[in-house]
């Protein structure tokens, strides 16, 4: 694990620990307010100024309460919103729950329908590079002539025969259909086909 990864992990751990401590403190204060139904009314009475509200609230707040939590409670009292504290606590608890990340979307465009073996080989390669749980959609477009176009998220890998021919024409200074057929070439500008061939053994790494 790199130093940057460790830094991020520590930052997440500190953040989660802080939120958990704040959540516990808010929950305890909410219970104290619920135990005395008249306390909120006394704190938020129209004839009680902000300083008095702070003093009344301080009577039920732990002495070691973190300052940001204390200031939040003062703000609720100032605006007459102490009754919303249980709802605020629930909302914070929901925010702390991990959110399942959406799967990475992959679009595979090929000139022909891929066989099951080809799809399995392609999925294995994609998962090796981008992790499991990919949302893969397959489409057929004969105009790409051969090969494959793969879009992973916002990244595009164009390994189609049509793009190879276009790249070769540009490199050779050929316009239109002059002097270039559709035969695949070993030219340095050609790209390795992205369609896995199940009958061809993988090269040694």
Q: With 50 as the cut, is the pLDDT of residue 187 above it?
A: no
104-115 pLDDT per residue, tens: 899 999 989 989
What per-residue confidence (pLDDT) applies to 136?
A: 93
Same domain, 92 and 115: no
- Specify the CATH number for the domain of residue 125: 3.40.30
Higher pLDDT, 150 or 198: 150
What per-residue confidence (pLDDT) applies to 161?
A: 64
Higher pLDDT, 138 or 96: 138
Stretch 12-24: mean pLDDT, rounded?
83
What per-residue confidence (pLDDT) applies to 19?
A: 84
- Total domain count for the chain? 2
What per-residue confidence (pLDDT) applies to 153?
A: 84
Higher pLDDT, 189 or 137: 137
What per-residue confidence (pLDDT) applies to 101?
A: 64
What would the DSSP string read from start to end of 121-134? Answer: HHHHHHHHHH-S--
Q: End of a domain among 71, 96, 121? A: 96
What per-residue confidence (pLDDT) applies to 56?
A: 87
What per-residue confidence (pLDDT) applies to 74?
A: 92
What per-residue confidence (pLDDT) applies to 140?
A: 93
Same domain, 68 and 118: no
Phi/psi region, residue 105 (left: phi>0; alpha: psi -120 to 50; beta: rest), is beta
Contact between 160 and 148 under an 8 Å Cβ cutoff? The reply is yes
- Specify the CATH number for the domain of residue 54: 1.10.520
Q: End of a domain among 96, 128, 146? A: 96
Range of the domain at 50: 3-96
Same domain, 67 and 122: no
**Strand 135-140 relative to strand 105-110: parallel, antiparallel, unpaired?**
parallel
With respect to residue 205, please indicate whether it lies within any of the assigned structural domains: no
* Other beta carbons within 10 Å of 149: 20
21-51 pLDDT per residue, tens: 888 888 888 888 888 878 888 888 888 888 8
Same domain, 171 and 83: no
In the Cβ-directed half-sphere of 11, how many Cα atoms lie within 13 Å?
A: 6
């Amino acid at each position: 694990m790199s130093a940057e990864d460790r830094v991020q992990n520590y930052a997440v751990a500190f953040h989660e620990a802080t939120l958990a401590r704040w959540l516990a403190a808010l929950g305890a204060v909410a219970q104290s307010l619920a135990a005395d139904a008249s306390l909120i009314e006394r704190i938020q009475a129209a004839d009680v100024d902000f300083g008095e509200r702070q003093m009344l609230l301080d009577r039920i707040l732990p002495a070691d309460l973190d300052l940001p939590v204390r200031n939040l409670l003062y703000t609720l009292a100032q605006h007459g919103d102490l009754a919303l504290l249980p709802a605020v606590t629930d909302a914070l608890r929901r925010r702390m729950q991990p959110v399942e990340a959406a799967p990475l979307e992959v679009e595979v465009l090929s000139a022909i329908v891929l066989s099951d073996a080809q799809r399995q080989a392609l999925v294995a390669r994609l998962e090796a590079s981008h992790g499991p749980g990919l949302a893969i959609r397959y489409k057929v477009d004969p105009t790409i002539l051969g090969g494959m176009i793969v879009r992973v998220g916002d990244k595009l890998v164009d390994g189609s025969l049509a793009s190879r021919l276009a790249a070769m024409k540009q490199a050779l200074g050929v316009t239109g259909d002059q002097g270039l057929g559709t035969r695949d070439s070993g030219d340095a500008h050609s790209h390795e086909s992205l369609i896995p061939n199940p009958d061809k053994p993988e090269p040694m790494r």
